A = this chain, B = another copy of it.
Amino acid sequence: MTAYALLLEYDGRGFVGWQTQPNGLSVQQVLEEAASKLAGGAPVAAAIAGRTDAGVHAIGQVAMITLERDLPPQRLREALNFHMKPHAVVVQEARLAPEGWHPRFDAKRRRYRYIILNRSARPALEMGHVWHMPHPLEAGAMAEGARFLLGRHDFTSFRASSCQAKSPLRTLDRLDVRRDGYHVIIEAEARSFLHHQVRNMVGTLKLVGEGAWAPARMAEALAACDRAAAGPTAPPDGLTFISVDYEPPVF
């Protein structure tokens, strides 16, 4: 048996998310079915660094599959990419997985990016890849509000009710907000995130950006440890899983 680490890129539109579900096509299913073709039809199970919801994208997601066959990683990548056509999922790189390595449990740091298109006109070129907010957002105030969430906290207020993590404690290492033309870009970094944590933080920062909340209210929302104290969940479209770090690095 040989374990491979895979660096994945996918467009979340058209998928029910990473995880296989009865109601549509998942990224996992596309990958596992392609891998199964290389295993003579035997089922292949894939593990992932960070599960993503329907509509969420990835440019540096990391997965692991295990095959009976010993294939050169480059050939594995090409074969998987061939079999995953025409779906919007590709293996950018494949490596032999380090001994005993797991993409989820060994992740030291994960990065997400969220893009808001902040202009009157709806998106044309970026449809499905941004959250459209027609009214002007104050990115400086959002950045100020974001700083209240940094560090180790109980993030219950920003956690989906469906979240299965044992503890709501997380350490948020980075939550930057900046404006680039009519884009407002939010970058988040942590060892791990709760379910919907990034989208709930973004949905709440949007309240700060439009002036409905003072920046310091982010601290109150956090301290409340109550989902109802924070803002709504931002849509998946603007969210991309950027990268994940391992020690030693895998890619």
Contact = CB atoms under 8 A, between A and B. Distances in A.
B81 A125 contact: no
Interface string A79-101: 00100010011111000000000
Number of copies: 2
Contacts of A90: 121-124
A59 B125 contact: yes
Given A77-B120, A78-B120, A125 B57 contact: yes
A11 interface: yes
Contact of A11 (B57, B121, B127, B240): B127
A170 interface: no
How many chain A residues sit at the interface, stated as a range, is 20 to 34
B10 A88 contact: no
Contact of A121 (B9, B57, B119, B122): B9
Contacts of A77: 120-121
Contacts of A9: 121, 124-125
Contacts of A122: 81, 85, 90
A11 B91 CA distance: 26
Contacts of A240: 125
Contacts of A11: 124-125, 127
Interface string A50-94: 000000010100000000000000100110010001001111100
A124 B88 contact: yes
A200 B74 CA distance: 32
Contacts of A120: 74, 77-78, 81, 92
Interface string A21-56: 000000000000000000000000000000000000
A92 B78 contact: no
A140 B91 CA distance: 27
5 contacts: A11-B127, A74-B120, A88-B124, A88-B125, A90-B122
Nearest first, the 9 A-B pairs at minimum CB distance are A90-B121, A9-B124, A90-B124, A88-B124, A92-B121, A11-B125, A10-B124, A11-B124, A81-B121
